[in-house]
Structure 1
Amino acid sequence: MEKASNLESKMYVLDTNVLLHEPLAYLSFQEHNVVIPMTVLEELDHIKDRKHDVSRDARVAIRGLDEVLKNATPEQMLQGVALPSNKKAKASSAGTLIIVNDHLFADSISGLPGNENDHRIINCAVYLQKQHSDSKVILVTKDINMRLKAKGAGLKYVEDYRTDQLIDDISLLTSGYKKIEGDFWEHVGQCNTEQHGRDTFHHVPKNLIPDVFCNEYLLDGGDHFAARVKSYDDEHITLKDISVERLMHQQAWGVKPKNIFQGMALDALLDTSIELVILTGPAGCGKTLLALASALEMVIEKGIYDKVIVTRNTPEIAESIGFLPGTEEEKMAPWLAAITDTLEVLHKGDENPISSRNYIMEKANVQFKSVNFMRGRSIQNAVVILDESQNLTASQLKTIITRCGEGTKLICTGNLAQIDSNYLTPVTSGLTYIVERFKKFEGSATINLNGVVRSRLASFAEENL
């Protein structure tokens, strides 16, 4: 292995979890040397045959590495094989991919168990740091504890893999609406206005609100103005005038918004031109209630869609629903109890709420599905409610979104403060990913319901416990 010539040259040692998180992660280091220890290949080999969702990522990573190294000799693998060009990267020079047999390296770390794979990978990075003192050797791992151990073992540079993170802090996540100080029309002055049936559209200068996207809501300091961005170009923004009064007088299946935030959510949910609606916010802010009420309104009352499909991840990261007897719907029912509870709340005034719930589920063709079984199929003309979507990866959400056929509306709900997955954080959650990726898609809308007033008990618990 040739030594690097200066400190600007970097050598990235990738941990196994980086390749499981993003199988082609090595393509993100285009101008640098990427090192894959033999221990990482062994771990991928052990994972690839499991009956888990992560096994697919292991197989993709192995196939990708084989594609790069298939024509390389053993000597070339040790010296470095040129990485293929990545369209997303803008590298001035090509980097290399190196496979090292870390089992041959002497154990230079005392105090850590020698048989653990993490120890071997850290030892590999420390060894390379000594051998390439004129280069930056950086261990990249998603494991926080491993980063701490590597620092304690004497490794100077340890990093998390952040290439796929679209934001650094969850507070920067798009809320789906903007609040404008004071009276909006005082900022605008005169503008062109058009009337199309019941809808009024205003064309305002782009420099008033430079950073906007389609279906973003605008509110001002008063109690009357509310609008939604329909389109924009370099000079003008086209706004659909909704008004606060109209937002607050909407209803779906008997449910009316309690405040402007729920009003915006209901407006997006009932608009069939918006194919993807993302609702975020704390527990108890009405995400599931609004989503289900809107779905029933559009399926039963308006007849726009044929059925309602409800799904969420199971505790095993959407990998299986078990092998005990029972249909898919019976097995998913315990994990989707929030939906049946919401249906009972919507019909609590009926003489027999449980009978009403069962009747509505049959009439609206409400189906409980497993995320795992939604692969390899197309969902046509349905409302799909993806509950607890903060526990899904970007890859799993992509799988579901790509299954939505013509005429299907997808509603994703989630609370980034309640992530149950061991592999995800608020900034790496698939929910965060699609909020940022789809914010400029003209057929999507995001509403953050953090401003919704919840029960006094829930609010007190959130602030004080």
Structure 2
Amino acid sequence: MTEIHTIYVLDTNILLHEPFAFLSFQEHDVVIPMTVLEELDSIKDRNKDVSRDARVAIRALEDLLTDASPEQVLAGVKLPNTNESQVEPGHISIFNDFALDQVVGGLSKNENDNRIIGTALHLQQNHRDKKVVLVTKDINMRLKGKGAGLKFVEDYRTDQLVDDIKFLTKGYHKFDGDFWQQVSDCESETTGRYTKHLIDKSLIPSAFMNEYLIDEEGSFAGKIVGMTDDKAEVLDLGHERLMGRNAWGIHPKNIYQGMAMDALLDPEIDLCILTGPAGCGKTLLALASALELVVERGIYDKIIVTRSTPEIAESIGFLPGTEEEKMAPWLAAITDSLEVLHKQDESMSGSMNYIMEKANIQFKSVNFMRGRSLQNAVVILDECQNLTAAQLKTIITRCGEGTKLICSGNLAQIDSNYLTALTSGLTYIVERFKNYEGSATVNLNGVVRSSLARFAEENL
């Protein structure tokens, strides 16, 4: 059955979320209402991170339409062919929604959202042979569109790699009962203190590199370090050895922290992704492991700590002091963790100041990471559930030779107006990097902060 030709009407927030989004609709047509261009124009000069995305979107549209005549822009300019299997690319056009005599559906013309909805309604009435879809990340606008008579309204889902957050990779596979009772065919090889097992891949059909294997009985713990079409090579870590890991005086409180600490302390792992609820130990484990790798083992030269919060872009300039002093209010989680690590010392504040200088701990804003090249450092990116996939790509590509990046976040605590657990950059990189041999993901299942925090996480 031939798919019906579709016209996609894009809201402003789609181009702010992904400036090149208009290239993602393959053989279908894309319509940009004039109001969207007006909104991009008003946003591009603001002192916010979002203004950069507005400027990128405007430049991208200008590059595509620069040689087109006004008549061609209104009629539709052919989109570039971005897919080899694509037979015929669609077209992009600018629609003058200000020329509409009235907004169909009884909505006021005084609001920008209503004019964009009006564009989609007008196209729906005049192109009955085509499917007209309004694409917006604004939930209320989707509701208004439906109420005004639009048949199709959608979120932008091109950046979604999973349909439900429960399908997101946890970074480990837990066997029911005893692991060895389920293994019928196994070849083992011991080299020094390490033992590797070659097991049938059918036991773990969706296995990926650096995925941890544990069992319900607590008798086995391993990590996949190699794969063929039908076999998986598993490094036997040992449950007790995993629980015996130590970083800056910190020991794992459960097997999930044990797996996380194993990945954090492994210099072969360039990217560690820690997910989990508030109070599961993400920040504390990341900082303790970073101090161990920099101060005790001397593998890296410094620790760079950065964190994304929606307020930083707006408020950091108004705070007094240097960049690090401006960042201090948002990085209190790091200093809290440092206090925990040194609370037994005779002079806690003296120890903290000494360690911050010894480990060369630097607090940086994500706004100033663009353009940098980070060498021989441990980079801790906290609260990265509030970043988009594009923003995370910008930071990850800053990491140079000998740099280890630790990304942590809680998908249940997203502060961005335009992100959900499914569209968060954290979800995106968990899925994108699961088959990369230099990365490891661990979902820290369980709150260890306090019984109060655990009860709140489970019941509120």
TM bucket, shorter chain: over 0.9
Query: What letter corresponds to residue 16 of structure 1 in structure 2?
Result: T
1:3 alignment partner in structure 2: none
Q: How far apart are the structure 2 equivalents of 1:221 and 1:314?
A: 38
1:186-242 CA deviation, whole Å, 9 max, x = no partner? 332232222222211111122221111111001123221111011212122111100
2:161 alignment partner in structure 1: 166
Q: How does 1:275-354 map to 2 (within 5 A)?
A: 275-316=270-311, 318=313, 321-354=316-349
1:144-182 CA deviation, whole Å, 9 max, x = no partner? 110111111111111111111111222111100001223
Q: Is the 8 Å Cα contact of residues 281 and 448 (structure 2) preserved in structure 1? A: no
Question: What CA RMSD, in Å, does the superposition of the two structures yield over aligned residues?
Answer: 1.7
Q: Does 1:186 align with 2:181?
A: yes
Distance 1:437 1:55, change over 3 A: same
1:175 alignment partner in structure 2: 170
3-state SS in 2 of match to 1:321: helix
Q: How far apart are the structure 2 equivalents of 1:327 and 1:188?
A: 58
Q: Does 1:70 align with 2:66?
A: yes
1:124 alignment partner in structure 2: 119
| 1:342 shift after superposition | 0.9
Query: What letter corresponds to residue 74 of structure 1 in structure 2?
Result: P
Query: What letter corresponds to residue 406 of structure 1 in structure 2?
Result: E
Unaligned 5+ segments in structure 1 are 1-5
1:253-306 CA deviation, whole Å, 9 max, x = no partner? 111111101100110010000011111111111111111111111111111111
1:135 alignment partner in structure 2: 130
Distance 1:319 1:195, change over 3 A: farther
2:230 alignment partner in structure 1: 235
Q: How does 1:41-60 map to 2 (within 5 A)?
A: 41-60=37-56
Q: How far apart are the structure 2 equivalents of 1:391 and 1:132?
A: 39
| 1:345 shift after superposition | 0.9
1:28 alignment partner in structure 2: 24
Correspondence for 1:86 among 55, 79, 82: 82
Q: Is the 8 Å Cα contact of residues 36 and 97 (structure 1) preserved in structure 2? A: yes
Distance 1:142 1:315, change over 3 A: closer
| 1:85 shift after superposition | 0.6
Q: Is the 8 Å Cα contact of residues 314 and 321 (structure 1) preserved in structure 2? A: no
Correspondence for 1:61 among 43, 50, 57: 57
Query: What letter corresponds to residue 144 of structure 1 in structure 2?
Result: I
Query: What letter corresponds to residue 413 of structure 2 in structure 1?
Result: Q
Query: What letter corresponds to residue 46 of structure 1 in structure 2?
Result: S
Q: Is the 8 Å Cα contact of residues 194 and 200 (structure 1) preserved in structure 2? A: yes
Query: What letter corresponds to residue 44 of structure 1 in structure 2?
Result: L
Correspondence for 1:220 among 204, 215, 231: 215
1:346-395 CA deviation, whole Å, 9 max, x = no partner? 11111221221111111111111111122211111111111111111222
Taking structure 2 as the reference length, the TM-score comes to 0.96
1:362 alignment partner in structure 2: 357
Q: Does 1:446 align with 2:441?
A: yes
Q: Which moved more, 1:232-241 or 1:56-65?
A: 56-65
2:194 alignment partner in structure 1: 199
1:415 alignment partner in structure 2: 410
| 1:21 shift after superposition | 1.0
3-state SS in 1 of match to 2:316: coil
1:121-160 CA deviation, whole Å, 9 max, x = no partner? 1111111111112221111111111011111111111111
> What number of residue pairs does the alignment pair up?
459
Q: Is the 8 Å Cα contact of residues 105 and 149 (structure 2) preserved in structure 1? A: no
1:294-353 CA deviation, whole Å, 9 max, x = no partner? 111111111111111111124435466214441111111111111111111111111221
Taking structure 1 as the reference length, the TM-score comes to 0.95
Q: Is the 8 Å Cα contact of residues 242 and 259 (structure 2) preserved in structure 1? A: yes
Query: What letter corresponds to residue 53 of structure 2 in structure 1?
Result: D
Q: Quick one: percent identity of the two aligned structures?
A: 70
Q: Is the 8 Å Cα contact of residues 18 and 390 (structure 2) preserved in structure 1? A: no
Distance 1:52 1:295, change over 3 A: same
Q: How far apart are the structure 1 equivalents of 2:314 and 2:426?
A: 18
2:373 alignment partner in structure 1: 378
